[in-house]
């Protein structure tokens, strides 16, 4: 087998902009029991912006920055639908002092299912929205 080159010159670089026709990230669905209550929690307690407000299309995130959460009310697509609380697979970074930023969230009424913890690899914490969706937090780089 040929040896892999370790030279920086031969290392593949990602293009600065996506290739023509390449997909771009838009949103991740978070299933909630009440869209209006979820918008209030994600904006007032968690500190995100209410980005889109078009009928059922309600998103929260940071204005001008990709990565939106689309808050999907479970009864809209299944009148008998049940929530599935737990790990959502969603992660956010917190700017500044991680522990202090977590404290601010806690003071706003955000429930931590796992408090800020120092691991071998760095800091992490997990919060839960009112519907039980868990969100992982880590310090911003």
Cα torsion angle, 19, 22, 26, 28, sign: negative
| pLDDT surpasses 70 at 12 | no
| Arch. (CATH architecture) of 24-75 | Roll (3.10)
Residue 4 banded pLDDT, cuts 50, 70, 90? very low
CATH superfamily of 86-141: 2,3-Dihydroxybiphenyl 1,2-Dioxygenase, domain 1 (3.10.180.10)
Q: Where are the domains of the chain?
A: 24-75, 86-141
Rounded to an integer, what distance in angstroms lies between the CA atom of residue 86 and that of residue 84? 7
* CA atoms in the 13 A half-sphere facing the CB of 22: 9
Q: What is the pLDDT of residue 120?
A: 96
What pLDDT was estimated at residue 13? 60
Whether 24-75 and 86-141 share one fold: the answer is yes
Predicted TM-score of the model (pTM) = 0.80
What's the rounded Cα separation, in Å, for the pair 52 and 63? 9
Q: How far is CA 30 from CA 14, 39, 42, 60, 122, in A?
A: 30, 11, 11, 10, 27
């Amino acid at each position: 087998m040929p040896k892999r080159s370790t030279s920086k010159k031969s290392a593949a670089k990602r293009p600065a902009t996506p290739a023509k026709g390449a997909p771009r990230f838009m949103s991740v669905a978070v299933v909630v029991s009440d869209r209006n209550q979820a918008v209030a929690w994600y904006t007032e307690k968690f500190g995100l912006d209410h980005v889109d407000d078009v009928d059922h299309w309600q998103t929260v995130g940071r204005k001008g920055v990709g990565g939106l959460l689309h808050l999907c009310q479970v009864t809209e697509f299944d009148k008998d639908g049940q929530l599935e609380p737990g790990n959502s697979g969603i992660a956010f970074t917190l700017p500044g002092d991680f522990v202090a930023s977590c404290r601010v969230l806690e003071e706003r009424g955000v429930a931590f299912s796992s408090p800020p913890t120092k691991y071998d690899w760095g800091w992490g914490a997990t919060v839960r929205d009112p519907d039980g969706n868990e969100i992982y937090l880590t310090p911003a780089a």
